[in-house]
Amino acid sequence: MRYRHTLLSALAILMIASACSPTLVEPEAQPTNEGAFATETDSSFTITDALGRKLDFEQPPQRVVIAGRASSLLANALYLFPEASQRIVGIENRSQSASPILPVIDPNSSDKIFFEKNAGPEQIAPAQPDVVILKSYMAESLGEPLEILGITVVYLDLETPDQFFRDIETLGKLFGNSERAGEVQRYYQQRLDEIQQRTDDITEAQKPSVLIIQYSDKGGDVAFKVPPASWLQTTMVELVGGTPIWTEASETGGWAIVNFEQIAAWDPDQIYVIYYPGDASPITEHLKSDPKWQAIQAVQQDQLFAFPGDFLSWDQPDTRWILGLSWLFAKVQPELADGIDITQEINQFYKQLYRLDKETIQNEVNSALNGDLP
């Protein structure tokens, strides 16, 4: 979208760079005498965002805005850091759930600016952000117009485990709390390592064929969709010792619609149903009673499951993917996952990552749990 030059000029004047505003470092630029003038009080730092751009900051940004698609997933990552409550000033309202997590993890949530869905630079600029956090795929549609106004943008991915670890490191630098970033990374790595150790020796024959499908009834039209081969849902199945059966039907792009005939032809050992608007359990119960679905092996063997969630479904590139991974491991390889207690994992997750006490977890988190959970 092109903006009139008069609007750009007016907003640019409003967004005069503050002392903590960073400048973009061209990729070919090389630092000279790095640290030569650093002092004990020097708080400057450099980050590399998800697009590989180097950004110099004089100090940690104090006014952070989260915008664009998947803003709720981005916010959940930022709130892993205790500084987020004070420094996040605005969030685009894109929550999937009717029970948003923000009031649970942020006592200052009522003080935030909530932008309308698909907010543009003209809505974001008056919040006077030091930095705007976006998903990398928002670079052209929103990032570039923001940068024209002199607003600094940091891009994150968080779409794969590797990207998650990298972006957590970036956030640690941005908040001036690399120690916390390390704590978060260790939490995730320990759980990944345990699953890997338990699945290292399984053979292909020991891996059940797995189908993950998203159920959609938007506009009254029922559809089943499978995720691309490169997405997190596929990776999760592979990590826990399953064989994702759908990959050839969705190699690129977004979720691909598949019909029942294709699902029946795959005839997987296990099926996991995702329903982003809420609890998938009523959907799986309906499918189990459908004579057509009763002919599928997974239904006959009681291996049709509602993928769990709380405030968001656990299959997504959100902080909760590690909960989804632990739960999926217990379903795909129950013998190898013996001893992994998903209830305990939920409690540890919210205690260690979001600093919630036992009472809050019981009253706020557990009441939002859904899907096939104990």
Among residues 176, 203, 225, the one where a domain terminates is 176
Same domain assignment for residues 156 and 113:
yes
pLDDT tier at 97, thresholds 50, 70, 90: low
Same domain assignment for residues 105 and 237:
no
pLDDT digits (tens, 9 = 90+) for 233-259: 999 999 999 999 999 888 778 999 999
Indicate if the alpha-carbon torsion angle 189, 195, 198, 203 is positive or negative.
negative
pTM attached to this predicted model: 0.88
The CATH number that applies at residue 214 is 3.40.50.1980
184 belongs to a structural domain: no
Same domain assignment for residues 226 and 138:
no
Nearest partner of 269 among 294, 247, 297, judged by Cα: 297
3 belongs to a structural domain: no
Element (H, E) at 234: helix 232-239
Same domain assignment for residues 221 and 364:
yes
pLDDT digits (tens, 9 = 90+) for 270-300: 999 999 999 999 999 999 999 999 999 999 9
Stretch 36-41: mean pLDDT, rounded?
39
CA distance 105 to 124: 23
Contact 365, 309 (CB under 8 A): no
Same domain assignment for residues 221 and 343:
yes
Q: DSSP secondary-structure letter at 141? A: I
